[in-house]
Structure 1
């Protein structure tokens, strides 16, 4: 199969890397570079770099009966992907305390404390869960505010409003 200019450039890059790493002497490097510029087929290019490490962009050996296949993306194995960010445990606790407020009014204070603690940890570590922490804070402060208003109202009613 006939080689393109891009194929010749990739081969030249492999030759340059081989020369820079000391795998090729100057005379051999110059000779191979000249042959790379004149090469017409994949076979000629492959012969120039067959004894050199070619990295991830290796030129495949030619096969007369094989036609080039369209590029197919290969999924990266999960082993090489970074782990997904964890959800902050304090944020989960803040949300749970916030949701439990209607049943146990005393969970408003822990919801606020855990929510603020979680937001600080999330900023420091990059974990997920900022929305849960904020929901716990909002529910907690709303309950505390409504409780304070109720106490003030009861005091005002108990003193006769004067």
Structure 2
């Protein structure tokens, strides 16, 4: 629906109230007011005031249809961003690291390899799971160090015994 002059003025009034309450910075307020006066449709005006208290009621994707609230749904732009997915290699690294106690250290090397690979992917792609990767790395390296210590003691015992 095309916006009228009264629609634009109502949107600017909401923006002024948001600015007066300290919800908008001066530059943001000026930019939005300019866009409000240039808006051609009511939907464009709704986008400008959707994140302010007098704006449209936010509708969650799982909530009732937008018509129940008397207006169009708020676009995803104003809803919180979903958390990034967890890296699968990071989870695998942590699982291998935890399993080192039950496998007598055999999964330590895969934990280290998966952990380093996962951390590189996480830095590159922005996925989640850095804590899982770090836990797998720590447990994997502890397992590798434990096996190195055991082998060194056995080697020294064999050399000392001969």
Q: TM-score, normalised by structure 1?
A: 0.57
Q: Is the 8 A contact 2:46 2:55 kept in 1?
A: no
Shift of 1:56: 1.9
- How far apart are residue 159 of structure 1 and its match? 1.7
The equivalent of 2:99 in structure 1 is 100
Query: Which residue of 41, 45, 67 corresponds with 1:56?
Result: 45
5+ residue gaps, structure 2, are 1-8, 14-32, 48-52, 62-74
Distance 1:88 1:10, change over 3 A: same
1:155 shift after superposition: 1.0
Partner in structure 2 of residue 10 of structure 1 = 12
Q: What do you get for the CA RMSD once the two structures are aligned?
A: 3.5
The gaps in structure 1 that reach 5 residues or longer are: 1-6, 19-51, 59-69
Q: How many residues align?
A: 113
Query: What is the SS of the residue equivalent to 2:54?
Result: coil
Q: Which runs of 4+ in 1 moved over 4 A?
A: 11-16
Partner SS state of residue 160, structure 2: coil
Distance 1:145 1:17, change over 3 A: same
Q: 2: CA distance between counterparts of 1:132 and 1:15?
A: 46
1:130 matched residue in structure 2: 130
